[in-house]
Amino acid sequence: MKKVLATLLVVVLVVTAIAMIACDQKKSEVQKIIEQAQSMTMEELGRKAIEESNGKTFSGIGNSSRGKTAGPAFVKYLQTLDSTYNVTFDWQQPKNNTIFEALETDSKKPAGEFAVTLIQDGNQIESKMVQTGILDRFIPKAWADANKTTASEYKGYLALQTLNKVFMFNNTGSKTFTNVWDFVAEGEHGLFMDVDSEVVGKNFLYMLTQKDYADDLKAAYDAMPAGAAKTRIQTTADALTNDAKTLKLQGENGKYALAWIKLWVESYNKETDDGPICNQLVSSSATDKFGLLVYSKLRSVEESGSVSKNNITVAAYQDGYTGFGGYGYCHYMFVTDNSPLPWTACAFIAYITCTQDGFEAWGKDIGGYSSNPEVAKANDEKHHHSTGGMDTDGTTVLFAALNDKGYDWWEQKLIIEDPEYCASVAFTVGPWIDKLTKYNK
């Protein structure tokens, strides 16, 4: 019996060893480097980056232009480790959601041009970039430690930050919006960056069909007073009962999610960028208009006789507001699978996700929240976003809309993008939404 057990043990060990070797052989060279990098400190990664990229060009590509600002700070950090370090930093920001095409084209080269990417749109990341092996996930040790997890335990993508798009309305008139259903009331036409211009807006609509968010919409509906507006919503929802079943939405309130989506898609005014939306809403002539736009756009508003940040009310900040106040989406960090400088890419990702100086390019403004709790805390202590609309002595409110309540507060008021869920409904709910857009030209 002992001989049999010993033999079985040897067989198990051999099979396990073979499996491990086979698994390792399936990994790309970049993935093997990432596996090592995930156990290293910031300084260790920095020294690897210096060794790899000194005298070369380090190229990144992203949905945020601020990557270009973060680059010099990263180089400056590496120079604290080696004063002779020098690298040419290049950052590209493709327009009109062409970043996926750029990365796919680059992935076909033996060694790519782009070493690292900062990218949004969880749906396409999941289906076009991760499942196809174009992008590799890297979880810095310092980030994992701060989030009380490990690289192997953590299953999501690495987010640099969560951004929010929030409902804001011009308050120079008498109209108010105190329930999320008010934004799809008859005659309302919110300003919104069209889903064809920025696909994260479509992901937001996908997420509304997720059970918990559909339940929240039903709760907001229940809180409405009886009347014609509520009857209109119920009639719309009832007409979509079969659609909810056909689309296989979970729970009993999917039809309310479809009702909100339908009323929204058929009524909003299409815009190509959030900047013009913000510029419209802060004008005294935009009485009673509202929009769903990036919160941080308020940072660039310059006060004048007819323009003011005080002309804006952030809907969710109102006492008694019911329902979601906007949606949240992430900027994710990845190493390209054919990265020409994988160690440098890992070091750059660790620097901007694990240090306040690295996150500064994004953290200096309201509406962007680091996924690293330690960086988020340090950033708040430096920039005081929670009192961003106060005067210098912190006692008088100058611009109420700028007092950012922070991610812990907003997380409960946002529809948060889930890449896997978006990908799972893109070919069912997606075509259903596309049919609606013909009514909104």
Query: Is residue 45 within 8 Å of residue 346, measured between CB atoms?
Result: yes
Beta-carbon contacts of 235 under 8 Å, excluding residues fewer than 6 positions away, are none
Which phi and psi angles does 71 have, rounded to 5°? -60, -55
Query: Is residue 37 within 8 Å of residue 144, measured between CB atoms?
Result: no
**CA distance linking residue 374 with residue 370, whole number of Å:** 9
Residue 108: CB atoms within 10 Å:
9
Among candidate residues 190, 207, 327, the one with its CA nearest the CA of residue 265: 190
Query: Is residue 117 within 8 Å of residue 334, measured between CB atoms?
Result: yes
What is residue 97's predicted lDDT score, i.e. its pLDDT?
A: 80
- How does pLDDT run along the chain (441 residues), one tens digit per residue? 555 444 544 444 444 444 444 445 689 999 999 999 999 999 999 999 999 999 999 999 999 999 999 999 999 999 999 999 999 999 999 987 899 999 999 999 988 999 999 999 999 999 999 999 999 999 999 999 999 999 999 999 999 999 999 999 999 999 999 999 999 999 999 999 998 888 899 999 999 999 999 999 999 999 999 999 999 999 999 999 999 999 999 999 999 999 999 999 999 999 989 999 999 999 999 999 999 999 999 988 999 999 999 999 999 999 999 999 999 999 999 999 999 999 999 999 999 999 999 999 999 999 999 999 999 999 999 999 999 999 877 789 999 999 999 999 999 999 999 999 999 999 999 999 999 976 555
pLDDT digits (tens, 9 = 90+) for 41-61: 999 999 999 999 999 999 999
pLDDT digits (tens, 9 = 90+) for 310-349: 999 999 999 999 999 999 999 999 999 999 999 999 999 9
**CA distance linking residue 204 with residue 421, whole number of Å:** 11
What is residue 20's predicted lDDT score, i.e. its pLDDT?
A: 41
Query: Is residue 154 within 8 Å of residue 139, measured between CB atoms?
Result: yes
Q: What angle, rounded to 10 degrees, do the helices at 429-436 and 200-208 form? A: 110
What is residue 137's predicted lDDT score, i.e. its pLDDT?
A: 97
